[in-house]
Chains A and B, each alone.
Chain A
């Protein structure tokens, strides 16, 4: 069998497992089990995506109109591509580490006569396929808005295909190269999770430093910025592309399609993508199997542990080891240890709660900082006025709360609380603890995580929004209530349809449809509450009353979610058959 045939056979099998194609076909089409479920979910998520997409498209339209006054409508292409590439770079690192090194199929693939490059390339293909799904939501609306508003010709639309396919390649290749090097050096027996976390922190530290550095190369004062905008060609795109410079090549390939400059940028994009991929594959060929082998070695250090001989000689273990707790605390503690000691869970859980606030902070500081300045967000229509006006004080506090709600909603810790147990969930089924008490244990860990994880976001949001003390207290309070509601609702969704049959811990969190459902629900609720609040404030209602009402609303929603959890627990547990 040729290498390419091996590669395609492997890629096909891995994609099949990753997307659950055979499993889905058998469950839904052959056995016709719970056929309503994917239909309802597809309709729900589809309508959510269309609703949010409509908002995104109108934002892009507004930004295009603003930018086009300077003759720079192509800025929206650069913005979407840069956002997509930063997204791939950040989350790609976690995907790559998980798919390359923590897939359960590693023990099946390693003994097969496949070169490391084939395995690495096939796994890269799996991650890439997942990234295309997310990128489609970010890029396609921007491609369509620019294409229709600028009246682009057929060459533009044809060029959209290679640009879309190439957009994630460079950031993902960088993430893959970083992951391969990182895993080769952190795969020591002790403290692997900690080292891996520190390694990823260093990677993002370097990226954030690069961001800070490159953004400081641009104009610093408002006068400089104005002169820059007026004199430099495609200045808006160049400014936006500082988030991820290769995004400029992709953007120019499209906006200058049909010209020599467009072709040149496309060729540059293709060449650099191929080079980055080749580098990642070369590193993979050399380092992949060594890191995999080191990682699969037992993590125990029994031979070296002092007291082992004494223990084996029959001496009693210290009584202090045996501590009695309530079943709820025992389950919360178990969930905590399983979460903290599974590198994929830690990396995924912390990615959203640390990296996004980190990026927000760097972009804000590098963009000028301070309330009223608007920083890099000044590109959003109306943002500067929102930041400056006292009449928006309550709205700023509520925006603060929405930020907390959003991070709670997207971090997938609550929406994978049951799924993370995977096939080990059988232990929850056989223990003599009522299901609703077990759920309380899961709630305890989830809420503790959400509370701790909102600290960095609160600090950064305060840096951006500069609320007064009362506003900050109210923003945090409403944010906590909203976060509790989002967490309880996420737990409910995951309890009712846990995803237990996964082959890779990454899939418990990232491929878990429950996380996507909750992202849509949380965003929709945040948008609905935001709309009501804006209407209430426009109608000159008292700002304090609006804030207290919002707090009350989320408290009631949290109460209802808790009631749902408690009353459905027994039925949900009984439905799970393992």
Chain B
């Protein structure tokens, strides 16, 4: 569903390489967690996936389509929620969702049914006729996710979706991600919260200084951590946090 092939991206005329020759495949029905320390290149990678940034080299394929060459087709296959959903805040929730439905070509009847159930789940019905400017961060996240899910995208790309959410909303987000996968969709999300990744993801990838330093299931990562930290040996019952620290420190 998502193939990232040898993608690199630099800032400042090549002086700072944010993503370095990244290769990654995520299959249908999979939840993939993208982990890494601050400034590791997670958001840059996500922005290249959704078309906000152009890769210097390599390519990103969404459902077989190159985002650089068949952007509209690729974008119609995915939904995206950024880390700080700076939505058109002078629209009401209804206007925003109609806007999303219009640009994704969702029929009015389908949109009514879909939005109704999503707003119910996110408890946004009471606020949907207010200006987005009056929404809290969590409400904006939920509205952005509602908009992203409106067209039944095959791929859902979420950048730090749990940041700023209360426990209930966070639970709803996780539930939504699971449900999306059960319906055959794919979720690619970045997070700092290793506990979430550990519980939710089928596979994770760890990026540091722009390079993918580990990827696979939790068991795969444990093996890789042992290889990096060969002298240490370590326990078989390591948490993802311990593995993360070992891998990122080992790399450094």
Contacts and interface: CB of A to CB of B under 8 A. Distances in A.
Chains A and B belong together in one complex: yes
A442 to B, nearest CB: 14
The binding surface of chain A is classed by DSSP as: loop
B193 interface: no
A424 B82 CA distance: 11
Measured as residues with beta carbon below 8 angstroms from the partner, the interface class of chain B is 35 or more
B127 A337 contact: no
A312 B123 contact: yes
A61 interface: no
B99 A330 contact: yes
The binding surface of chain B is classed by DSSP as: helix
Measured as residues with beta carbon below 8 angstroms from the partner, the interface class of chain A is 35 or more
B95 A337 contact: yes
Given A331-B103, A424-B87, A432-B71, 6 more contacts: A312-B123, A329-B102, A432-B72, A432-B103, A434-B72, A578-B52
B156 to A, nearest CB: 13
Given A322-B115, A431-B104, A432-B75, A314 B120 contact: yes
Given A300-B127, A324-B108, A330-B99, A577 B91 contact: no
Contacts of B129: 305
Nearest to B82: A426
Contacts of A32: 13
Contact of B126 (A302, A330, A429): A302
B90 interface: yes
B169 interface: no
A341 B102 contact: no
Interface string A431-446: 1111000000000000
A322 B112 contact: yes
Contact of A321 (B73, B94, B102): B94
Given A322-B111, A337-B90, A432 B52 contact: no
A449 B135 CA distance: 29
A334 interface: yes
B217 interface: no
A430 interface: yes
Interface of A: 31-33, 298-302, 305, 308-309, 311-312, 314, 316-317, 319, 321-327, 329-331, 333-334, 337-338, 341-342, 423-424, 426-427, 429-434, 574, 577-578
Contacts of B91: 334, 337-338
A495 B155 CA distance: 30
Contacts of B219: none
A33 B51 contact: no
Contacts of B99: 330-331, 333-334
B39 to A, nearest CB: 17
A334 B88 contact: yes
Contacts of B74: 432
5 contacts: A302-B134, A316-B112, A324-B102, A341-B131, A429-B51
Contacts of A319: 108-109, 112
B183 interface: no
Contacts of A423: 86
B172 interface: no
B61 interface: no
B77 to A, nearest CB: 8
B125 A431 contact: no
B98 A330 contact: yes
B128 A317 contact: yes
Contact of B98 (A299, A323, A577): A323
B126 A430 contact: no
B237 to A, nearest CB: 41
B227 interface: no
A426 B52 contact: yes
Contacts of B130: 299-302
Contact of B88 (A311, A424, A434): A424
Contacts of B116: 316-317
B102 A330 contact: yes
Interface string B216-228: 0000000000000
Nearest to B144: A427
Contact of B111 (A324, A338, A433): A324
A327 B103 contact: yes
A324 B101 contact: yes
Nearest to A421: B88
Contacts of B123: 312
